[in-house]
Structures are given as structure tokens and as C-alpha cells.
Amino acid sequence: MKFEAVTIKDIARALGLSTSTVSRALRDSYEISPETKKLVLEYAEKINYHPNPIALSLKERRSRSIGVIVAEIANSFFSQAIDGIESIAYQNGYNVIISQSRESSEREGINLNYLTSRSIDGLIVSVSAETTDFSGFRELFDRGMPIVFFDRIVSEINTHKVTVDSYRGSYDATMHLSKNGYKRIAAVAGSKYLSISRDRMAGYTSALTEMGIVVDPSLMLHCPHGGLIRQEVEEAIDQLLSLPEQPDAIIALSDKLTTGCLRVLKSRNISVPEKMGLIGFSNSDLTELIDPPLSIIKQPAFEMGEISTSLLLQMIESKRPPTDFETKSLAPQLIVRESSRERAMIDGG
């Protein structure tokens, strides 16, 4: 099947003009007489002419499309972020090409190659949990490709970054647990290599220290695949449950881990929050319906997508690389529900 579009030549031929006259008439050039313009515009309208974006791209040496790499699309946080990315991109006439790393640095590399070979004008990335070598991004960036990192940022590369104040998010959540009477709080994080894992762990330990609680390394666990694999969450929970002194609450430091922990706790018949308090990062809009309604740290995913895209377009459209780059840190939102209910009330009730 072939879809044949109308070209400027068709108009020129039909009207007995040259293609350049038509082109100029369409772009409202001062060199073209009002009558000719009118003629051309009306005819173009009539036959539903649209300039061929591919020819334009070739001429202008830019594709008006941006690439996005995230761990997975079917994830509340990322799909909300993509939503934000698309909204700004579309407003500015850009396409968005999405690809998924599925937390594998190999797939991330393949996607990176694919995207650059598709001649994108810029790139928005939340790196995979596995990635420790950022040279691919580095090289591309040094060769002039505008890149914005969001969510999982890369400190090694000096460009625009959009993130959430992860430290504060987990600090607040840990404080909240502590104030609600939980004494032994465990933290389950994603990959050690991710900046957000480190930041979130740091928020957790700071809060504990501030409350005068000794930080116990046996309560700090990592799931290298960020909960994408069920087994790693099971192992983490089982490890916590097998401790001589079990924790009485868990803070889950990423989306998939939050629901993952609850799932495993349920399967192990540990009631939440009676036996184990739970709070975690999550962007699902179903958390309030869950049993028990989950206390969460919610990230402004949509907004993160919007801001990342604005920054990227700014880079793309500016003549020369900006001298200083921004790292925007947005505030997370702590939503308290049943899963982290006050300990005293549980004891009392």
C-alpha cells in the first residue's frame, strides 16, 4: 500500500508557477504578489497540502523528534512522565520516540544506538538500574547531542537534570514512621548504582540518626533490578523476616518495590500495618484502594516530564551549549494512609 501525499510540485504544476514561487507564497514571503499568494494558499488549502516534514528535516538538518529512554512504559511513574514529555513536545511540534531499557544496560546501549541512528535532535533519559558505565551517554553528549536526565540522573555528566528531592522524600517518610511509633525500620532500595537509591537511603539514615536511632546495615537491602524480578523482593523480605530482631516497618524506595513488598508480605501472612508498617514511593493511582490503603511518597511525574522536555527543547533550539546547567529538584508528596498507622493505636486496638 502506498499513501501519496500532495507536494509543492503538484501545486506549481496545477497553477503554472514554479515551485519556488509556491514555496514563497506559502511562507508569505514579501516577494510574492498578494494575488499569487491568495491563489496558491487557496489551492493548497483545497487539496489539503502539508509540507513534507522529511524533506524539511533534511533541509534544516534536524528531525524535530526527541528520544526517550526509560526502564519500562507500563509503569505508573514512567507513563505519567511520558505523558508530560509528550504534552510539551507536541505543543512545540516535536515527535517523541520512546524506548525501554527494562533495567538492562545492554538494551539501553542498543536503544541509544538505535535512537541516534534515527537522527533525533535530543534525548531524555532515566538510566537503567544496571548501568554503571556512562561512556555511551558521555560520548554522545560531547559530540553535541543535547541530553536531559530525569529521575535517575547521572552525576558524571554535566547537563540539565530533573529529579525529585529523594532525600527529603525518604527522610520525611522515615520520620513519619518513627513518629508513629515504629522502632525498627528497614529500607528496601533498588540498585546500588542509581543516584536515587543512594539519595533515598541517605534520607532514611539521616532521619534515623536524627531520631537517635542507630543505623543497622542489616536493615538496609538492595534489589538490583528494582523489583522488576519478583524473586529479589521475596529474598529481601525473607531476609528481613529471618533477622533475630525483626523490623516492624519497611520503607520501600521505589515504585515496583512498594507494591512488590506488600505482595510478598501478604504471601507470608504478615499483616500490614499490624505486624509490619509499610510506606513507599509510588505513583499508582490505585494505592488508596489497596488493602491496607498504602502510605506513599508520590513524585510529580507528569511535571518532571514537562520540565525535562522544556529544558531539552531549550538546549536544542539554542545556538550554543549553555554555560551552566540546571538540576531541578521537585518536592515529593507524602500521602499518609493506613499502611503506616500509628503504632500505639495498633497496640491499643
**Where on the chain is the footprint of a copy of itself (CB under 8 A)?**
1-5, 50, 52-55, 57-58, 61, 63, 65, 72-76, 79-80, 82-83, 86, 90, 95-100, 114, 116-119, 121, 140, 143-146, 259, 262-263, 266, 284, 286, 288-293, 315-316, 318-321
When the beta carbons of 18 and 271 are compared against DNA, the nearer one is: 18
Helix, strand, or coil (residue 214):
coil
Pairing of strands 277-281, 161-164: unpaired
When the beta carbons of 205 and 284 are compared against a copy of itself, the nearer one is: 284
In angstroms, what is the minimal distance from the CB of 110 to DNA?
A: 20
d(CA 129, CA 346): 37
When the beta carbons of 27 and 266 are compared against DNA, the nearer one is: 27
When the beta carbons of 54 and 214 are compared against a copy of itself, the nearer one is: 54
Q: Would the CA dihedral through 290, 293, 297, 300 be positive or negative?
A: positive
DSSP category for residue 75: S
Q: Does 113 bind DNA (CB under 7 A)?
A: no
When the beta carbons of 37 and 337 are compared against DNA, the nearer one is: 37
When the beta carbons of 50 and 143 are compared against DNA, the nearer one is: 50
Axis crossing angle, helix 105-117 with helix 135-142, rounded to the nearest 10: 20
Integer angstrom CA distances of residue 29 from 32, 42, 46, 99, 190: 6, 16, 20, 40, 57
In angstroms, what is the minimal distance from the CB of 312 to DNA?
A: 22
Integer angstrom CA distances of residue 47 from 5, 8, 11, 14, 50: 10, 11, 9, 11, 9
Which of the choices DNA, a copy of itself, none does residue 96 contact, using the CB cut-off of 5 to 8 A by kind?
Answer: a copy of itself
C-alpha cell at 298: 508520590
In angstroms, what is the minimal distance from the CB of 211 to a copy of itself?
A: 30
H helices of 16-128, where? 19-26, 34-46, 53-60, 76-91, 105-117
Pairing of strands 249-252, 295-298: unpaired
Q: Does 52 bind DNA (CB under 7 A)?
A: yes
Q: Tell the residue number behind the cell numbers 528535516, with chain if given.
A: 57
| Residue choice 14, 41, 43, 51 for contact with DNA (CB under 7 A) | 51
Question: Which H or E run includes 334?
Answer: strand 333-335
Stretch that binds DNA, among 9-17, 216-224, 239-247, 320-328 (CB under 7 A): 9-17
Which of the choices DNA, a copy of itself, none does residue 148 contact, using the CB cut-off of 5 to 8 A by kind?
Answer: none
When the beta carbons of 56 and 286 are compared against DNA, the nearer one is: 56
Which of the choices a copy of itself, DNA, none does residue 18 contact, using the CB cut-off of 5 to 8 A by kind?
Answer: DNA
Q: What is the dihedral of CA 349, 270, 241, 265, to 10 degrees?
A: -130
The answer to whether 201 and 189 have CB atoms below 8 angstroms apart is yes
Per CB under 7 A, contacts with DNA among 26-45 are: 26-27, 31-36
In this structure, the number of other CB atoms found within 10 A of the CB of residue 60 comes to: 10
Q: Does 110 bind DNA (CB under 7 A)?
A: no
Q: Which residues of the chain form contacts with DNA (CB under 7 A)?
A: 5, 7-9, 16-21, 23-24, 26-27, 31-36, 49-52, 55-56, 58-59, 61
